[in-house]
Structures are given as structure tokens and as C-alpha cells.
Amino acid sequence: MTYASPLLARHGAVAALGPDEGVAAHYGDPMREQRALAHGSAAVDLSYRGVVTVAGPDRLSWLTTLSSQQVTGLRPGDSSELLLLSIQGRIEFDARIMDDGERAWLLVEAGEAEGLATWLTSMKFMLRVEVTDESERWGVLASTRRLESLDAFGPHAAALVWADPWPHVAPGGYSYAAVDDAHHPGLDRPWFEHVVERSRLADAIEALEADGVGLAGTMASEALRIAAWRPRWGLETDERTIPHELDLLRTAVHLSKGCYKGQETIARVHNLGHPPRRLTLLQLDGSTHTLPAAGSPVVAAGGAGDATRPLGRVTSAALHYEMGPIALAVLKRSVDPDAALVVHGEAEGEEYAAAQEPIVAPDAGQVVGRPTGLLRRNA
């Protein structure tokens, strides 16, 4: 059954498409909404998101054995991120995790929830865990600050808030960024996801508005996410994606833990190899007044013959209220970070000149024996 948020009935609401279907792309003024969200005076309806819970005394140790992250000692109020990988180390699920003392809450994209709950259930064996897909009951309202007005609408009439660890390097993690941590643009986008009851969304928004917090659509949240270099499952990922390519060793992988599916690829690429692709930010020419669609090919500027072959693809694009048109793209590692690029649009002859701002350093990986530099770990 297709989900439709009750907030789509709000005046001016324009429905989002694609992965954000079910909520509003904007409420009539996308740039104003984006500024308000950036400044902490707006919230975004992400109630279409998937919510999976895991109850039982073995839940955290069990999730640790299955995933890329160490969550055994996760305390109520803590937030983390974990990946479930294939044998080849490719990303299958990317979950935001927190625990309330009784249940672990996994917040995922809408397209992940059913498959994640089914897979986790198949891995229970004799352990004391109980997996439930709670997506029809619970949703998410997000903002760039903690919203105390939403405390009354949480699972226990109390706060259940996931604080994004990005862009800090989590314990056991490692930075692949092409800039030092003090200059990472993600620092300008703190991010908090509040679990609220779907049936009480309208009441929750009324409580926010009484405190001077308005509504922003997903066009606003996506622009801020892209500017913060934050990858998103289903957009920046495909069937071949390994965590190194998106700098997800930073927040979602604990390099000192072992015995999980995909671990060999994580260790081999990190220690001895290089990720085959790398995430980059593209500053786009805004003269066309449009944006390239996800999947648009990226080629070398002025290329001819073989030089017109795609070097990668756009994964997300948005109009930022300060930076103008920007996009995330996954490129081949061999692409010169100083090369001028062109994005081919959907219409014939539609092109966007693009300048790179590397996110994952071209020489990321192969840390054994290499001198210390911009790539660094958090013990």
C-alpha cells in the first residue's frame, strides 16, 4: 500500500517523487524553507521512512555479529550507524541505530524496511531477539536541531532521537575525506531524526508551530544533505557499492571488529587496495535553470571519441540556497580531481558544466605502510 502523509493536505504542499514519495517536496517556497531548516527553525516530514525494531536481551550483541559496527555497548541516548554487507562487501542495508533500553530502533529508507526485517528474522536462530517492522505505526520528523516539542509524540511519551554521527569519525572508524576534519562541510549540518507516531503527525506539527518551528520539504533536506557530502542508501549506492567509495568507514564501520559478512573486502581494500570509485561533489553550471536527473552520465569536458565515455554518474542533485546547483556523483577513481567535467542531461543537447570538489580522496585506501596524512582513523 502506498503511503501518503497527512501533511500533504497542508496548504501549498507539493508531493515529492521517487525515493521521497509519500511526503511533501515543498510547501510553496523551497528556498525559504531551506534557509529555515539550515537555521534550525523548520522540520522535515520523513514519515515515509522505514522503522524496524529488535527486542530481546541478545539484540545488541546479535546486531554486532551481523553488521559492520560495534553496537554491543550502545546506551540509551546514543546514536550509531551500521551496514549489512554481502559476502563481496557490497552494501545491502544502511541503518541508523539507537536503543531505548528495551529495543533497538533501526531507521532506514522506505525501500529497505521489509527486506531488512525479513533478513534479520531469518538470522535469529536460537537467540533471544524479536524483529518487527514498525513502519506503519512510526515515522520520522527531522531537523538540524533537537526539537523538544516532539518529546510527547515518541514511543514512550519521551524523546527517541537519532543524532547523525556524520561527519565525525566514530570509534573504530576511518576518514577517507579529501579535507581535514576541521573543514568538513558536514559540520555545518547537524542532523536529528525524531521518531513520532504517524497517527499524531498533525498534532506534532501543531506543537512545533506553537514553538515557532515551521515545515520544510524534502527539497530542502536533500540540498543540505548533498552540501554536507552525506551519502544516502538507494541514491549514492547501487549493487556494486562498497563503503570505502562513499567515506562510510567514517561512521558505519568499526575496523577493529571482525567476524561479519563482507569483512574480508573491508579489510583488503582498506589495507592493501583502493576503492574502484569515489564520491565527489559537483558544482554545476546554473545557466540552464534545471538540474540533472539521478543516473545522468558524467564525461570529460570537450571530449571526443573514447573521451565521451562515462566517467561516472550523478546520484543526487539539488539547488542550494547559497551554493546554487550542486550534485553528488560517483566517479571512477582514476578521474583526475582537477579535470573539468560535463553532465549529460535527459533532453537532447542538454549539458551541465561541472567542477569537482573531491569527497573521497583519489588515493584512499592502502593504509598499510603509508605515511600519515589527510586519511586518518579514530581508535
Q: Residue written as cell 559537483? A: 282
Longest alpha-carbon distance in the chain: 62
Element holding 226 (H helix, E strand): helix 218-227
Grid coordinates representing 189 are 549540518
- Angstrom CA distances, 342 to 51, 230, 298, 357, stand at 38, 22, 6, 14
**Bridge partners for 370 per DSSP:** none
244 conformational bin, left if phi > 0, alpha if psi -120 to 50, beta if neither: alpha
Q: Give the C-alpha separation, 178 to 220, whole Å.
A: 26
Q: Give the C-alpha separation, 328 to 357, whole Å.
A: 10
Grid coordinates representing 237 are 549506492
| 136 labeled binding residue | no
Judge contact between 175 and 194, C-beta under 8 A. Answer: no
Helices and strands: H and E segment counts in the chain: 6, 20
Grid coordinates representing 147 are 526539537
Whether omega for the bond prior to residue 167 falls within 30 degrees of 0, making it cis, is yes
Judge contact between 353 and 340, C-beta under 8 A. Answer: yes
Query: Three-state SS for 137?
Result: coil
Binding site members for substrate: 193
Binding site members: 193
